[in-house]
Structure 1
Amino acid sequence: MLHYQPVIDLRSGEVAGFEALLRWLDPESGRIVLPRDFLPGIMDSDLILNTGSWVLENAIGQISAWHSMGLSAKVSINVAPRQLQDPYFPELLKSTLQRFPEVDPSGIELEILENAAISDFQQLQKTLLACREIGVRLSLDDFGTGYSSLSHLKNLPVDLIKIDQSFVNGMLEDRGSMEFVHSIVSMSKIFRKAVLAEGVESVMQGRTLRRMGCDLAQGYAISEPMPGENIPQWVENWSEGWLEVLH
């Protein structure tokens, strides 16, 4: 199943979109299992290609369903490194979009991990450029955790940088994390990339990020992930002045 976590524009407070997050419902226990507990076991197998296709189809289908309800929403979709090394991935993306003609490709953002570039950088660039030609946006996820962050920032055709939550979570207590987050925001501006902070868990973190010039935020201070059918009501209830509320 897919759950969706809201993303907020830090300057306006408006809802900027959602991230589609994969969940597995254990049929025996009825428990919802998070990706970290089942994805590593399939990342290097063909099963990740089938899973990725299912996620793409269902996330775009959810955008279509929201559209029919009068809700225009942008959605980011995680794409596994092995999917991006598949030369047929852009064609899969195009054919999926063709089944939902009411969905604007610019409302879709594909999230790639820094380590996706380790095995075949040229193939990755080729795939990403082909996806850009289709009209979707691209983001670099978990930025700061890889070995060549600055090189990726310069050479990959991405629109958005997502700062890993491990740096955001402790930035108010740890000066090093604070300076690192600030440096990522500053570098991203130099390269004309938008910046999103993951794992925002307090209003104070949100305010600090806004002062730094960070564009977008995502985390439990805003909302936990939820089923797609819950999103329209959540959007209706959302308060754009959340950073002004004292907690």
Structure 2
Amino acid sequence: MLHLPRPALTPFLLLLSFVLGAAWLGVQAWAVALPFLVLGGICWRLWRELRWRRGAMMAMPGEAALWSRDLRLIWSNGGEAPGIPFDDWLRPRLAHLPAAEREAEICRRVAAHSKADGAPRPIVEAGGQARLVERRLPGGQVVSFTEPLPEPARSVTALPSTEPMALPAPVWAEAPDPLTGLAGRAAFGGALRRLTADPRGGVILLVDLDHFKSANERHGHAVGDQLLVEAAQRLGEAVRPTDTVSRLGGDEFAILCPGAAPAAGLALAERVRRALRSDVTVQGTPWPMSASIGIAAAPAHGEEADALYRAADLALRAAKAQGRDAAVLFEEELRTRSEQRAGLREALAAALEAGELELHLQTQHDLESRALVGAEALVRWNSRRLGRWISPSEMLPAAGEAGLLPKLDRYVLGRAVALVAEWGDRPDAPPVLGINISVVTLHDPAFAAEVASELQRAGVAPHRIEIEIPEDLAIRDLPGVARTLSALREVGVPLALDDFGGGHSGLPHVVRLPVQRLKLDQSIVAGLPDDPKSYAVLRATMALARGMGIEVIAEGVETQDQAFALRRAGCNIVQGFLLSRPVPAADVARGATGPRLLRESA
């Protein structure tokens, strides 16, 4: 019995009808039959090839699918009905992920599917680890192949061998990151060790997204996850095929470039920065993106994995210190500075235990009455271990890095309260002593009770200690800090907002915080009396303060012209080198020379 392929059957029937028609009309049959024989042969060969391809795709151990331009299923070897949208087809395959991670992974896969560049990518689905390849066809359709990967070996002790492993497992096959699909921290560690063992050397780049934490906290993890997915996609597009991109956690990524020189690392860092700079559209809103990058090269900057990673991390910190969106190549000077900071932190911890720090006071005066109205306590440190005076610009960052700010704040509080208790009612002593307290301590809900206990134990009236709110208090920190400040006001402690008009301090702080005094930023005072903008800010601040019943004090007054301009604007309380430099507490006396000179010169 003759079995004809279906695609060849139609041309055969047409051929038969034309032959019969030609015979009836008297036309030679071969002239009609020849074209149809050729056409039938071509159709039969095409059908046979398509049948073989379909059979091969049906026999694949993984999934094969064909998608239309609008991301709907045309055919798959899983037997799903055609027309299913891509995200609905994908969702049950990601059922092992939590809901938020599942939706983020769907967004990432849709974005990658739209590119379909044919590059293999690691994925994790409900069935385990797999490798996905997607390629766009000339007609715009996309064909996808998913190849399951074997689980990595749990142990190799049962197979002893003296031969080296010729083909190590791919990095992305070792516990990929579930959100981005990149290599995870464990896989990164193994890849880094292989890079340092490679005689060709290589380069490591640590990439940290700028301002990601604030965006994540303000707008939720769904937005943050989409930013991370997009950043991972862009990083993957910026590197070479032989490079490895890993996500170490949070907004931290790493790129390993085997065999690359330091110059190549700098060039790659520039490509990464350019790739990340364009905005990311999330839920219809454009989000700016940039990154800080630290670069280190093996073996020059570290022959072992840990040493190379520390070098890159030091370079990353230096990039952040430059103001973000920067790339820094490691230099030995960075290691030297790091070791010096570590020594400084250790010395500061020992100095706090030994009571080595002391308070210097800078007095505050009323230009009209010439009275001493207060002083600000400034912590100073003459380190016995380091053999020199340590400036506040060195000491305070070291305290923050070492987590010593709360301990330093309580040390200053105790010394200040003891000093005021020692003064008693002396007429030549400042009636109010201001101390600076860090944002970290102001977030502590127990701090107000500690202040009340310290004052009560020393027998000091609460109004004698003024707490200055630091200028680095960000608006997002106001709710947490406001509770502590309200509790301090209930104790009776006055509050001052430091550096108003400069840095973070501004109108939202005045409106939302229970302050009694504004300390005008010295950058405004420095522009007096010649800068009209500085004078305009001064007059606006004085009008705001009078309307809210708040006193204003000007910091950084260094010239008589500045003092005259302040007095004309109605600001009579001043502090600065014109009147007094910071001096040891024992040397503080009633200082009237500055105000008397101003009155005499007016």
| TM-score, normalised relative to structure 2 | 0.39
Q: 1:98 aligns with which of 439, 456, 470?
A: 456
2:196 match = none
Output the CA distance in 1 between the equivalents of 2:505 and 2:376: 25
1:88 match = 446
Moved over 4 A (4+): 68-72
2:533 match = 176
Q: CA deviation at 1:155?
A: 1.5
Q: C-alpha deviations, 1:182-206, integer Å up to 9, x for none?
A: 2222222222210000000012211
Q: Decide which moves more: 203-212 or 115-124.
A: 115-124
What are the within-5 Å matches in structure 2 for residues 1-247 of structure 1? 1-28=358-385, 30-43=387-400, 45-67=402-424, 71-72=428-429, 73-101=431-459, 103-147=460-504, 149-231=506-588, 234-235=589-590, 238-239=592-593, 240-246=595-601
Output the CA distance in 1 between the equivalents of 2:422 and 2:515: 27
2:499–2:505 Cα contact (<8 Å) kept = no
Structure 2: give runs of 5+ residues left out of the alignment.
1-357
Partner SS state of residue 445, structure 2: coil
Output the CA distance in 2 between the equivalents of 1:38 and 1:54: 14
2:478–2:509 Cα contact (<8 Å) kept = no
Output the CA distance in 1 between the equivalents of 2:511 and 2:577: 30
Q: What's the % identity of the aligned pairs?
A: 36
Q: Decide which moves more: 145-154 or 217-226.
A: 145-154
Q: Decide which moves more: 124-133 or 37-46.
A: 37-46
Q: Residues 6 and 14 (structure 1 numbering): CA distance in 2 closer, same or farther, change over 3 Å? A: same
| TM-score, normalised relative to structure 1 | 0.91
Which amino acid in the other structure matches residue 580 of structure 2?
Answer: S
Q: C-alpha deviations, 1:2-29, integer Å up to 9, x for none?
A: 1000001122121001000011112256
2:475–2:509 Cα contact (<8 Å) kept = no
Q: CA deviation at 1:207?
A: 1.6
Q: CA deviation at 1:170?
A: 2.3
Q: CA deviation at 1:160?
A: 0.2
Q: Decide which moves more: 142-151 or 200-209.
A: 142-151
1:114–1:140 Cα contact (<8 Å) kept = yes
Q: C-alpha deviations, 1:110-137, integer Å up to 9, x for none?
A: 0002432434322211100100111110
Output the CA distance in 2 between the equivalents of 1:152 and 1:69: 35
Report which structure shows greater RCO (CA 8 Å, sep ≥6): 1
Output the CA distance in 2 between the equivalents of 1:177 and 1:69: 38
Q: C-alpha deviations, 1:31-78, integer Å up to 9, x for none?
A: 333312220232365310100000000011111111175655210110
Return the index of the structure with the highest Cα Rg. Answer: 2
| RMSD of equivalent CA atoms | 2.0
Partner SS state of residue 42, structure 1: helix
